[in-house]
Structure 1
Amino acid sequence: MSDHSLRMLLDASDRFASLSTPEQKWDMAQTVARDFGAVAVNIGAGSRRTGDLLWMRSNMSRTWLSDYVDQAFMTLDPFVAGAVRNTDPVLLNAGRLRRSEAASNKAFEMDHQLSEAGYPLCYGVPFTGTIRGAGGMVVFGFDREAARSFTEERASQMRLVAAVIAANVGPPEDVTAPGVVDIPTGRLTRREREVLALLADGHGNDGIADRLGVSEATVQKHLRSARQRLNVLSREQAVVRAVSMGLI
């Protein structure tokens, strides 16, 4: 590592030490990632017992994160797998996977959608999770220009940057905080559970939209997604199944 990069890293550590709130530290993590050439940073942890993604914070695009959740890409995400297994760092060159070589159509879609979202190269560094029985990973996303010049020296730098970020950014205390990804719990996202709970209380689409501060179209989108996740045909069946599963 060059003297300049080392000074940047030491400066980042000092700046983190001066911060007190989780939000300040998350903002600093994004700044540090950008200083070292990444266009995005994610941090999260998965259960070593089940392999499920437990929490994640990210500043990737909203469109990509929405696709990630809606299409349940976390179930085949190599970075989640790397986190729970505490493997070596994971390097992914997205957009190159051929459909004939993909383990599934979903794996192919995830690979190419990640590239199309502006992250053709992602580099993940595992860490010991702060939650018992969990493993974590810090993942950096790079644009096409940075991907072309990604070297082992840069990878070495990012491993140190990841260690600094992992030491300062933990599981979010507030699930509505900036960057916190709404991970499905029991196959439903937090918003889908809220919509179904209000539906169970007798509210219509307009009433749900008013209470949640969203449009009726958004309510309908969440209901449609909840039906698909729960494998039912109607909103009434979705409520019954969600109640029986203890989700609402």
Structure 2
Amino acid sequence: MNALSLFTLDLLEELSLRHDDQERWEFTLDRLTEIGFNALNMLCFTPETGAIHWVRSSMSKGWLNRYDSQGYAEADPMLAQVQNGKESLYVQAASLRSADGHSSKALGLNHDLEKAGYIHLYSLVVPCPNNEAKLVVLSSDRPDAQAQMTERQRQMRVLATVLATNLGSDIPSNHGRVYDITSIAPTTPDLTPRELQVLDLLALGHRNDRIAELLNLSEVTVRTHLKNAREKLRAPTRESALVRAMQLGLINPPGYRNR
């Protein structure tokens, strides 16, 4: 049994002896530091809609303020897991340069992650009771972190699952080394009134040319609004954009029942 597996078993036993959520967080952060992790983020959400319930982070206050002020949530590939359903993800900060070469947000996110020392990040979505899930994100700046996160996927998954099932939200906001950052990781996209109008008409079955006629726009402009809406909804097709918008309650065409 390797060191990471032994660490996880030991951590699980120790957490079973602690019942205060704040104590569990603080103890876990100390133990994670011992094996080279420098931050832990955890996010609770509803998989069907992507609605976030709470987010906790042990990243530095300076970094979190920067993340908020620069709007990096738009380019955060791990936050995107809440919508795209990808179960696990490894990201090296430098790789964000090529992930979206035309996005200033992605470039800024890369630069500031590296500057803050959050070089290697691993995340896992863990199903939970009551139709919820938790996204666990671990960060490290150690040179061997990439090998650990990519070659020991099974052990990383077990560790993330232990964290998801033993750590909760019942801690004071911005207490100690754990910050409540729910407000800076929104999942309801800010669509413009025109983008919503276009989606509404699309949901009613109208084609682009008819939507353009009804709104007194060119077809090119209609396509642009649809493209922008898809990007904000993180939807690869117009059909998936409609489903996502309906689930979030952004549009409510006749005959649709939000489950």
Q: State TM-score, norm by structure 1.
A: 0.64
Matches within 5 A, 1:19-38: 19-38=18-37
SS of residue paired to 1:33: helix
Measured after TM superposition, the shift of residue 180 of structure 1 is 2.2
What is the CA–CA distance in structure 1 between the aligned matches of 2:99 and 2:149, rounded to whole Å?
Answer: 29
SS of residue paired to 2:179: coil
Q: Which runs of 5+ in 1 are unaligned?
A: 188-248
1:143 to 141, 144, 147: 141
Tell me the C-alpha RMSD between the 2 structures: 2.8
Measured after TM superposition, the shift of residue 7 of structure 1 is 3.0
Contact 1:83 1:135 in 2 (8 A): no
User: Would the alpha carbon gap of residues 150 and 13 (structure 1) be closer, same or farther in structure 2, given more than 3 Å must change?
Assistant: closer
Bigger radius of gyration among the two:
2
What is the CA–CA distance in structure 2 between the aligned matches of 1:186 and 1:137, rounded to whole Å?
Answer: 13
* 2:168 alignment partner in structure 1: 170
The aligned length equals 185
Residue by residue over 1:75-116, the C-alpha shift from the partner in whole angstroms, topping out at 9 and shown as x without a partner, is 332212214444221111112433794352112211221122
Contact 2:36 2:142 in 1 (8 A): no
What is the CA–CA distance in structure 2 between the aligned matches of 1:99 and 1:10, rounded to whole Å?
Answer: 37
SS of residue paired to 1:170: coil
One-letter amino acid matched to 1:35: E
What is the CA–CA distance in structure 1 between the aligned matches of 2:146 and 2:185, rounded to whole Å?
Answer: 40
* 1:81 alignment partner in structure 2: 80
* 1:183 alignment partner in structure 2: 182
Check if 1:111 corresponds to 2:110.
Answer: yes
What is the CA–CA distance in structure 1 between the aligned matches of 2:47 and 2:102, rounded to whole Å?
Answer: 22
User: Would the alpha carbon gap of residues 73 and 45 (structure 1) be closer, same or farther in structure 2, given more than 3 Å must change?
Assistant: farther
* 2:157 alignment partner in structure 1: 159
SS of residue paired to 2:183: coil
Check if 1:65 corresponds to 2:64.
Answer: yes
Contact 2:121 2:140 in 1 (8 A): yes
Q: Which runs of 5+ in 2 are unaligned?
A: 187-259
What is the CA–CA distance in structure 2 between the aligned matches of 1:168 and 1:100, rounded to whole Å?
Answer: 33
Contact 1:45 1:80 in 2 (8 A): no
Identity, % of aligned positions:
26
Measured after TM superposition, the shift of residue 22 of structure 1 is 0.7
- More deviation, 56-65/141-150: 141-150
Measured after TM superposition, the shift of residue 50 of structure 1 is 5.4
